[in-house]
Amino acid sequence: MTERRGLFLNFEGMDGCGKTTQARMAAERLRKEGYEVLESVEPGGTPIGQQVRRILLDPANEELAPRAELLLYFACRAQNVEQWVKPALDRGAVVVTDRFTDSTMAYQGYGRGLGREIVITLDRIACQGVAPDLTIIVDIDLETSLARARARNRTVADNHETRMDEQAAEFYRRVRAGYQEMVQLEPHRFAVVDGRGDIDTVARGVWQAIQGKLPRHD
Ligand code: TYD
């Protein structure tokens, strides 16, 4: 393997936590400081990943089996690592991704109950040892996340909505507990930033976490 010179950051958290905005702001700031930055998003990222994303997030694909879903997330990621992330790190860039394997661990491993082992195994295959140096979790509580998710899904019929809400609440409870356990297992890789403040306050917390990890550049 060639020696990695760049820095790999991923932004994580529950749906609606604001990490997409924060990832964008961090990338902007890094560019201003003179770093070459590659921004990416999962699921999606590369043009091929975008095609897989459409399958994953299409509500018509209700029948998608949990293991098939899991493999599709990793298919996106394998393409992203090969085509964009690894080459960028090898040339010394800072890579900023909106979600990475930690999302799969939280949502599929914990949320869907597939477990940690299968996610770790597939990560090894898909990512070939490419892993984040720093993972920023933009942390919001369950109620805020559910309220934001509900606001996105207003069209669902009322009676149906109650049942969906209960299922969603259980699922998101497991996702959030998953993120918390992941932080405990690897405290040095994670920075948990309170996502309840205004955008600039959260951004300051994020920047503090990043600063300590930045490689020198001339
Ligand atoms: P997206 O529209 O990007 O939402 P968000 O802005 O909240 O990230 O959709 C991503 C959804 O996919 C989100 O609900 C989390 C989920 N997801 C997984 O379940 N597993 C994964 O590995 C990834 C990358 C995302």
What pLDDT is stored for residue 89 in this prediction? 97
What pLDDT is stored for residue 3 in this prediction? 63
Q: Which of 107, 116, 137, 146 to mutate to test the pocket of ligand 1 (most atoms within 8 A of CB)?
A: 107
Distance from C-alpha of 136 to C-alpha of 19, rounded to nearest angstrom: 9
Distance from C-alpha of 191 to C-alpha of 208, rounded to nearest angstrom: 10
- Contact between 210 and 22 under an 8 Å Cβ cutoff? The reply is no
β-bridge pairing 7-12 and 134-139: parallel
Residue of 111, 98, 43 whose CA lies nearest to 74: 43
The answer to whether the CB of 73 is under 6 A from ligand 1 is: yes
Q: Which of 74, 79, 99, 101 to mutate to test the pocket of ligand 1 (most atoms within 8 A of CB)?
A: 99
What pLDDT is stored for residue 158 in this prediction? 46
Distance from C-alpha of 198 to C-alpha of 209, rounded to nearest angstrom: 17
Residue of 181, 192, 179 whose CA lies nearest to 137: 192
Tell me how far the alpha carbon of residue 43 lies from the centroid of ligand 1, in angstroms: 6
Distance from C-alpha of 137 to C-alpha of 121, rounded to nearest angstrom: 23
Give mean pLDDT in consecutive 10-residue pieces for the chain, a chain of 218 residues. Answer: 80 95 98 97 96 95 96 98 98 97 98 98 98 97 84 55 72 96 97 95 97 78
Topology of the domain covering 7-211? Rossmann fold (3.40.50)
Residue spans of the domains in the chain: they are 7-211
